[in-house]
Amino acid sequence: MANAKAIKAKIKSIWNIQKITSALEIVSTVKLQKVKDQADAFKEYMTEFLYILDMVDLAKILWQKEDIKSEKELIVVVSTEKGLCGALNSKLFKQVYEKTESNKENIDVLCIGKKSLEFFTRSWYNVIWTENLKDNFQESDLNSIKWLVTKSIDEKQYKTIKVFYNHFKNTMTQLPTELQIFPLERENFEEFAKAIELDLTGITFEEYNWDIIIEPSEEQYYEFVYKKFISDMIYGAVIENKAWEHAARMIAMKSAKDNSIDLQKSLNITYNKQRQSAVTQEISEIVGAKAAMEE
């Protein structure tokens, strides 16, 4: 019965794992719904924001051409704080590494999430800042990252600034995405708007000749709006990545739970066979002993 006892202990252990993974699946499902609500609110905000910008020459504000002499590039990589979310981080890191490894010495990295810090430190990239975000983070938690990005734009430190994150399309589709936020080009923004499903109906991206009074000054307004727009794109990327993080963890925990159920059924069959074999052996020994006594 030694093997039967060991199998019974394994069944109990798997049952405990099954309860844990089931609980984590439920938690991730609830968190996913909350983040999806945040993402929907962000889309509504961005749509209204763009309508306002379109009235005051959106093209003049956004599609600015900068004369940057620096050869350095800045990348903002959005990852998770914890594991147990499948290949979510590894696929994104692979894409970033393939696109930047040849020019590593000219690249600075801003890491959002513990996993990205671990990867890029281990890969000998120049990490200049890292930010850790809770699951229930607020937009204000990104102020440090936003300040660093806008400061680098003012000082013209980098030729390009890109954000790498996982786009949330649905609970089964993971799409590692690259978004260039500086210099901001119309094609880049239209790809971003399409990815997060922004409704651009009625927004023409054309210049108008309307007589509009801008206070305190046109230059200050354009500078503020341009930086605000870039900050919002960073926030949108983080929201998308958080949504997919919870979706990936929900899927991973469901898969672990299903696997534990299958393994438990298999071990139950093995345990029953072991017990039946032991009972049969004991009956055979008793019958044999009785037959020997009758002789």
Report the pLDDT value the prediction gives residue 129, as an integer from 0 to 100: 92
pLDDT at 256 over 70: yes
pLDDT at 70 over 70: yes
Question: Residue range 30-46: average pLDDT?
Answer: 85
Report the pLDDT value the prediction gives residue 65, as an integer from 0 to 100: 65
Which residue segments constitute the domains of the chain, with CATH numbers given?
2-25+253-294 (1.10.287.80), 34-249 (3.40.1380.10)
Which one has a higher pLDDT value, 88 or 158? 158
Sequence-ordered strand ranges (E) for 45-146:
73-78, 107-112, 126-131
* CA neighbor of 226 nearest in space, from 42, 112, 65: 65
Band (51; pLDDT cuts 50, 70, 90): confident
Q: Which two tokens stand for residue 160?
A: 């390009």
Q: Which two tokens stand for residue 216?
A: 């305190």
163/233 Cα distance (integer angstroms): 9
pLDDT at 62 over 70: no
194/52 Cα distance (integer angstroms): 19
Buried b / exposed e along 70-104 (16+ C-beta atoms within 10 A)? eebbbbbbbbbbeeebbebbeebbeebeeebeeee
Q: For the beta carbon of residue 183, count every other beta carbon within 10 angstroms.
A: 17
* CA neighbor of 165 nearest in space, from 241, 88, 248, 84: 241
pLDDT at 86 over 80: no
Report the pLDDT value the prediction gives residue 205, as an integer from 0 to 100: 66
Report the pLDDT value the prediction gives residue 40, as an integer from 0 to 100: 82
127/112 Cα distance (integer angstroms): 11
| pLDDT tens for each residue of 202-248 | 776 666 666 677 777 777 877 888 888 888 889 988 998 898 888 88
Report the pLDDT value the prediction gives residue 269, as an integer from 0 to 100: 85
Question: Residue range 12-38: average pLDDT?
Answer: 87
Kindly report the backbone phi and psi dihedral angles of residue 178, in degrees, each rounded to the nearest multiple of 5, phi listed first. -115, 125
Report the pLDDT value the prediction gives residue 66, as an integer from 0 to 100: 67
Report the pLDDT value the prediction gives residue 225, as an integer from 0 to 100: 81
What is the DSSP annotation of 201-237? TT------------SS-HHHHHHHHHHHHHHHHHHHH
CA 103 to chain centre: 25
pTM recorded for the entire structure: 0.80
Q: Report percent pLDDT > 70 for the chain.
A: 92
pLDDT at 13 over 90: no
Q: Report percent pLDDT > 90 for the chain.
A: 21
Angle (nearest 5°) at CA 99 between 74 and 154: 15
